[in-house]
Structure 1
Amino acid sequence: MVNSQKSKKIAIIGGGIAGASVALYLSEIGLEVSLFEKGTSLVNGPPICHLHAGGNLYREIPDSQCVTLLKESIETLRLFPDSIDYRPTVIAVPKRDSGDALALLPRLKMLTQEYEQLIQQDASNEVLGAPKDYYRLFELEEMQKLAKLDEVAVPSTSEEWMIPIAKHVDLSTLKFPLVLVQEFGWNVFRLGASAALSLEKNPKSKILLKTKVNQLTHTEGKGWKVFFEQNQQESVEYFDYIINAAGFKSGEIDDAAGFHKQRIVEFKAAYVTQWEGTGSFWPEVIFHGERGTPHGMAQFTPYPDNVIQLHGMTEEITLFDEGLIANDKNSAQPKLGKSFLDKIYKGWSLDEVKLRTERAIDYMAEFIPSFSRAKVTDVPLFGAQQIPGDDANLRAAGVSFEDNNYARCEIVKASSVLTCADEITKRLITLGYVNKSVQGCREFAITNSISDEAITQRALTYTKQRGYPSGLAYRNIKQTFNQTELQVSFA
């Protein structure tokens, strides 16, 4: 795959979702990759919980971004199947919201057609179930009938997934119909485990943990000098190509390299709770709302062992006053306030964790009254996220390039990583680093050789190291579509 000339060396700065995934991709096609991460493990950062297979959680984004997210999610699911929680998402519009419950219908129909076309192009793209089952509408009368049925421990049909909603959600607070859509969950701990295990097994990749890049210097004809610090020792190494995947610190790497780019950084948090539940797997549930208002979107994300992750898109819960900030002309790095940096580097005060998690519980209990009995856990999922440009509503974003063999991978939604890696690969093909035959490659032998059990064990290690419940390391249901093993369907 790699050209016969002396192998080129690539430095990827940042071991989050973007950096780890791009490192995995490039090392799988035979390139020599060094991944610099100043943390103690890979894929720390803002919480993710679903693939966004169509972007239906965001009413405000255009259809073009939704199509992009659908394609990217399918590719991501194919690459990281062992990190997927195979459960659907239910989308509801509260009566207090100005939105129309049927407003998503044209988008859903359009996305179904797009999904059908992707399957026609490649049968392996049928990973979200049959196109006819991509979404399903439920009217009030049907929900009232479902409320009389017993819950099923492991749902296998759309109707069975909706039974706990029918029985335990206050339907009087909602507009109808409700929408069940195949927006699957995505487990950040399992993703990190998959990427780390693959990179550790690949002789073409080198992971440098607890390593901080301090300076970059470009020398014509020699590439880049990377000055870095590891274990209190300073070192320097030459690389032919730099990929900036430093997340919310991408601006600092731009500054070090002498480039300027406009971007926003946003600090957000999700809250981890324990809830005895109802004896059944739940779907993810989204209660739409206007972002940043007292009635922002509420998000209920279930995991095994009665663990529930909560978002409430208000400044009292998930969002923060002055937590969204842009850079200025003097630096590519937006300057987050000290309180946010303290949370990232030193941790939260227990009082603030308790306060915000209790607010999230109360917020969700407006729709699921029995959820008021949920318990607070000690550590939220949190982090700062970079958004290229000046549009805080941007969801589909990827890669940008500068002269002197320098690229940025600035994803907003995690499923954009493969699109980002594809674009970088095209540039490397143009430069002669790698043969054209690898373009669009998805046959990742090393990644595919990692067992589900190994991923679970590493994910458990990560949850323990970071102080989270072990339930976040497990998948809800083992399921594959369009394979000989089909344990669950949503027909």
Structure 2
Amino acid sequence: MTTNEMSDKKIAIIGGGIAGASIALCLSEIGLQVDLFEKGTSLVNGPPICHLHAGGNLYREIPDKQCITLLKESIEALRLYPDSVDYRPTVIAIPQQDAGQPLDLLPRLTLLQNEYQKLIEHDVNNQVLGEPGDYYRLFELEELQALALLDEKKVPETAEQWMIPFAKHVDLSLLKFPVVLVQEFGWNVFRLGATAALSLEKNELCQIHLNNKVTKIDQDKQQKWSITSEENGVTSTHEFDYLINAAGFKTGEIDDLAGFYRQRLVEFKAAYVTQWQGTEGLWPEVIFHGVRGTPEGMAQFTPYADNLVQLHGMTDEITLFENGLVANAENSSQPKLAPELLRKIDVGWLNQEITTRGQRAIAHLSRYIPAFKEATVTGKPLFGAQQIPGEDANLRAAGVSFENNNYARCEIVKASSVLTCADALMEKLFEIGFVDKSAIGARLFPITHSISDQAITERSELYTQQRGYPIALAYRNIKQS
């Protein structure tokens, strides 16, 4: 199939989050005409993304198979969006009161290390997490006590140097040993959105329709889709050969408009933006494991530029919410979030809510990092709702589902799953004669990789300001050397 033949087919994507924007990027780069409909004012403006999940080590409860999938998908996503990644490791620590044991993590870490080696042997370009032998490193109490005596480094270069601030400022008496340093990197949602938007704007085959709310969906006997959307009170209708539902937590609403049913969950979460002047060097990300939904839920410390720290506390009083996880009813594909949660999404947070939950997050982390009690809440949370297909709230690796009517749903839970979703879509589009087989699994993104780091930074700055966040969230602590 020639490029001209491919570009005769018109694809509609509803939803400009990480899934919709990335699918639009992939399909337009191989020569398909794509129209992307997004009801918001910019792309990739959804649930908080802060972590690449290169192995899923934050989640003890998920099976090894999902962890292997997340490792592979994270490497692919990093290769697609290298300028959106913060190249700093993550520390996994087990508190004394937790029932888990540090050495319980070892079989999974070893498995992931071996899988990473295999991926590099398959394609040397997959070596984006450092040397396979350095995928993880264990630190015993005695070594951390010695590191605590050293000066922190402005730009750490070794595993030991990354651990110095952890060793100096964490109350080590509260932890079990060893602790783990693993090559799970940070992921910046603002830089991610900027990269996708700049790439799509540069591609003549993609038309971006911002501020467009889809209000009606019809299909004729030839399986052509008719999509009606509204922008500033003005409606317009377009016809397409294929429809991709990538509407995030509103995926069920699009299913309802299209006449399909799908069982799913929706979960509302929030992370809190704080500022802390407490140390001299760059920190790794730090995870203190805990049981989700209890007062001892996982605590997550995610450092950004200019002393900003994003916090998760997996308790009902911080990141999780009462009635924040809901399933759909039999008469609709869309789960119904509580009105107070929808108000946060559609209108905004009350100042008191921001202060109260943000201070709880600071208190949750300062149990382990005592000096962190001096941190302050800085602006509104990073928040949103995510869909989870099916009934398993612990599902982390998910992709795409299909109907027989030239209709697909991109149902990712973690942002790194976007290329797996794209590959499955291309397989389906090949089956129905829309693309050439050579397009499946292609990892060539000449337009995307032509975008400069400076352009990404400038657009990221714009997004942080438009969305009301500190401009420092547009920057990375560490660039790839």
TM-score range relative to shorter protein: over 0.9
CA distance in 2, matches of 1:139, 1:390: 39
List aligned pairs for 1:29-428, cutoff 5 A: 29-428=30-429
Code of the residue aligned with 2:186 in structure 1: it is G
- What residue in structure 2 maps to residue 482 of structure 1? none
Kept in 1, the 8 Å contact 2:224–2:242? The answer is yes
Shift of 1:2: 3.3
Code of the residue aligned with 1:212 in structure 2: it is K
The secondary structure found in structure 2 opposite 1:103 is helix
Shift of 1:3: 5.8
Kept in 1, the 8 Å contact 2:7–2:33? The answer is no
CA distance in 2, matches of 1:13, 1:341: 20
- What residue in structure 2 maps to residue 484 of structure 1? none
Kept in 1, the 8 Å contact 2:379–2:470? The answer is no
Kept in 1, the 8 Å contact 2:31–2:205? The answer is yes
CA distance in 1, matches of 2:124, 2:7: 38
Deviations 1:416-460 (A, max 9, x none): 000001100111111111111111111111000000000000000
Deviations 1:224-259 (A, max 9, x none): 010110121011111110000000000000000010
Kept in 2, the 8 Å contact 1:11–1:239? The answer is yes
**Runs of 4+ residues over 6 Å off in structure 1:** none
Shift of 1:268: 0.3
CA distance in 2, matches of 1:142, 1:50: 27
Deviations 1:33-63 (A, max 9, x none): 0000000000011101111000000000000
TM-score, normalised with respect to structure 2:
0.99
Shift of 1:220: 1.6
- What residue in structure 2 maps to residue 19 of structure 1? 20
Q: 1:92 to 1:221 in 2, by over 3 A?
A: same
Query: Does 288-297 or 3-12 show the bigger shift?
Result: 3-12
TM-score, normalised with respect to structure 1:
0.97
CA distance in 1, matches of 2:6, 2:351: 56
Shift of 1:162: 0.2
CA distance in 2, matches of 1:297, 1:319: 11
Kept in 2, the 8 Å contact 1:215–1:226? The answer is yes
CA distance in 1, matches of 2:182, 2:273: 24
Shift of 1:222: 4.9
Shift of 1:364: 0.4
- What residue in structure 2 maps to residue 4 of structure 1? 5
CA distance in 2, matches of 1:5, 1:184: 37
The unaligned stretches of length 5 or more in structure 2 are none
The secondary structure found in structure 2 opposite 1:266 is strand
List aligned pairs for 1:424-439, cutoff 5 A: 424-439=425-440
CA distance in 2, matches of 1:67, 1:345: 36
Shift of 1:283: 0.3
Identity of aligned residues (%): 69
Kept in 2, the 8 Å contact 1:3–1:434? The answer is no
The RMSD of aligned alpha carbons is: 0.8
Shift of 1:478: 1.1
Kept in 1, the 8 Å contact 2:363–2:373? The answer is yes
The secondary structure found in structure 1 opposite 2:283 is coil
Kept in 2, the 8 Å contact 1:2–1:433? The answer is no
CA distance in 2, matches of 1:222, 1:244: 16
Shift of 1:279: 1.0
- What residue in structure 2 maps to residue 483 of structure 1? none
CA distance in 1, matches of 2:257, 2:223: 18
Code of the residue aligned with 1:85 in structure 2: it is D
CA distance in 1, matches of 2:223, 2:357: 51
